[in-house]
Structure 1
Amino acid sequence: MSHAPSVRYITADELAKLLKSKSTKDINDVAVVDVRDDDFVGGNIVAAMNVPSGTFHANVQDLVKRLENGELHPRGQAWLPKVVFHCALSQQRGPKAARTYAEARELCLTEKQREKAQQIYVLRDGFSGFQSKFRDDPELVEKFNKMYHD
């Protein structure tokens, strides 16, 4: 009998360290899923995939399968042991998406696929917190426009 993996929080500093790691293993091990809707404009975490919360529930099974197959990973890795969800503040949309994803992963994947543990995270303080620390670092934030955030 299996159960949905727990969802944990990751800080902006911890995520930045993973994303900037020179270790091929670390950077290839994480996918960032940004569930902001219209508020996605004005900047994002480099290589984050935008899966808007407004359509997230309808698309979550496809997301699980595509992440499992490496289709959404910037380097095409076949499976990602860490998936980080966030919205603007990670108070509602990000945590809800992470829980929904965890539940869908449990239902969509075979028992053999689920044996590969996956850590599911929510970015504490969301993109707002991340960009306030790293907006000037092009390795971490792209397409930043302060008009949308200040």
Structure 2
Amino acid sequence: MSSATIVNLPRISREDLAKLVRDKEPGISIIDVRDGDYIGGHIVGCQNVPTSTHDYRMPELVRTLADKDTVVFHCALSQQRGPSSALRYLRERERMSAKGEATSGEQGKDAAKEQKVVVLDGGFTKWQEVYGTDAELTEGYVKDLWDDSW
């Protein structure tokens, strides 16, 4: 079982992630786990995988993201749902590796070792404070929904 916990999960700053998104880094995938609060904007190129779908979507997510170098999870604040989802993802990768299920054409632990799983520090709330109106980085942004919230 993974030694990762919510406390020691690696974080990525909004500035570092913004650079990767601007550069259209092909080895990164951004997973937004917000449920109904997904409205009002999201990071360009992210996938919305609501926490309510994790029971049945996590194995599929592990398989489809197996070729990515870095997977970034986030929610609104990245205090609970984002980190919990990242941990669940890591544990599912380990489970699938232990069972010998193929990931990106490779078997087992080698694929799991090569992928970095991180959490966006401050979540979308902090992201939108700086990049909400930047159309190169944020899609579907509705400023009024974020004013005086959180």
Please indicate, yes or no, whether the TM-score normalized by the shorter chain is above 0.5: yes
The CA distance in 2 between the partners of 1:36 and 1:114, in whole Å, is: 29
The answer on 1:50 being equivalent to 2:48 is: yes
Which structure 2 segments of 5+ residues have no match? 101-105
Give 1:113 shift: 4.5
**Amino acid in structure 1 at the alignment position of 2:89:** Y
SS at structure 2 position matched to 1:28? coil
115-124 or 53-62, larger mean C-alpha shift = 53-62
Hey, which bits of structure 1, 4+ residues long, moved more than 4 A? Answer: none
The CA distance in 2 between the partners of 1:105 and 1:147, in whole Å, is: 39
In structure 2, the residue matched to 1:140 is 137
The CA distance in 2 between the partners of 1:59 and 1:126, in whole Å, is: 21
Over the matched positions of the two proteins, sequence identity in percent amounts to 39
- Give matches, 1:1-150, under 5 Å: 4=2, 6=4, 7-21=9-23, 27-68=25-66, 79-109=67-97, 110=100, 112-116=107-111, 117-150=114-147
Residues 5 and 119 in structure 1, CA contact (< 8 A), matched pair in contact too:
no
The CA distance in 2 between the partners of 1:143 and 1:5, in whole Å, is: 37
Q: Tell me the number of residue pairs that the alignment of Structure 1 and Structure 2 aligns.
A: 134
The CA distance in 2 between the partners of 1:145 and 1:98, in whole Å, is: 27
Residues 57 and 100 in structure 1, CA contact (< 8 A), matched pair in contact too:
no
Give 1:55 shift: 1.7
Flag the 1:130–1:5 CA change in 2: closer, same or farther, 3 A: farther
**Amino acid in structure 2 at the alignment position of 1:121:** V
SS at structure 1 position matched to 2:68? coil
**TM-score scaled to structure 2, two decimals?**
0.83
Give 1:37 shift: 0.2
Give 1:4 shift: 3.4
